Amino acid sequence: MRRIGSMAASIGAALLVALPAQVAAAPLTFDCDVPEAHSSSVSSAIGPAVRMTAMVTARTLRSGKTPPLAGLLVTSADGKNAIGVRAVKAKADATALSVAIVGLTDGKPVQQAVRDIPLNGSFRFGLDLDPAGVGRLTLDDLVVPITFANMGVGRAQAFCGSGNFRFDNLEMTTP
């Protein structure tokens, strides 16, 4: 009995070690489709190094009090630091989605407008950070060097609200 328990523990440990690499290696498609004033997300533990990429496409934008939005975000383990990108149809009559770099620095919100994309358009997002928090954020052809807090093990998240957004080739990995 003791030998079987030891073998089961070894197999369990091997599966735990092998599973994250298998999951991380395969990009996924996240078809985020929610009613107005609702949201959905998919997330994964990552860190201390981070690689996050996706092609985000707005498919259906729902009207109402809550604007349609989609984004990708990396958050530190303590929740005080975050960085990512958000696309939002800020006004009902807007002809484009406003894309901005968003985040938190020591719990204080930061936001930097980047560009607008057509309502039926797409944008490619990439975020690479080394364990010290040095890296780059890419949005289509724009590359922004960044320095981020050393976050340890944090969380990567793709999200949407009040619409249908498709995240193709979504990767949230620790290289």
pLDDT at 41: 96
The total number of structural domains in the chain stands at: 1
Least Cα distance to 103 among 120, 126, 84 occurs for 84
Q: Does the residue 49 lie in any domain?
A: yes
Q: Does the residue 97 lie in any domain?
A: yes
Kindly report the CATH number assigned to the domain that includes residue 103.
2.60.120.200
pLDDT at 113: 92
pLDDT at 105: 84
Q: Does the residue 30 lie in any domain?
A: no
Q: Does the residue 20 lie in any domain?
A: no
Q: Does the residue 21 lie in any domain?
A: no
Q: Does the residue 34 lie in any domain?
A: no
Q: How far is CA 43 from CA 16, 28, 30, 35, in A?
A: 18, 12, 11, 20
Domain that includes residue 148, residue range? 45-173
pLDDT at 6: 32
For residue 38, give every residue at least 6 positions away whose Cβ sits within 8 Å of its Cβ, in sequence order, or none. Answer: 161, 162
- Spatial separation of the C-alpha atoms in residues 136 and 148, rounded to whole Å: 10
- Averaged over successive runs of 10 residues, the pLDDT of the chain (175 residues) comes to 33 32 65 96 92 95 94 90 92 92 88 89 90 88 84 90 96 92
Helix (H) or strand (E) holding 74: strand 69-75
pLDDT at 62: 94
Q: Does the residue 23 lie in any domain?
A: no
pLDDT at 53: 95
Q: Does the residue 60 lie in any domain?
A: yes
Whole-prediction pTM: 0.81
Q: How far is CA 55 from CA 84, 89, 114, 148, 153, in A?
A: 14, 18, 16, 23, 24
**Cβ count within 10 A of residue 148:** 22
- State the Rg of the chain over Cα: 18
- Say how far residue 138 (Cα) sits from the centre of its chain: 13
- Spatial separation of the C-alpha atoms in residues 128 and 149, rounded to whole Å: 13
Least Cα distance to 62 among 80, 35, 38 occurs for 35
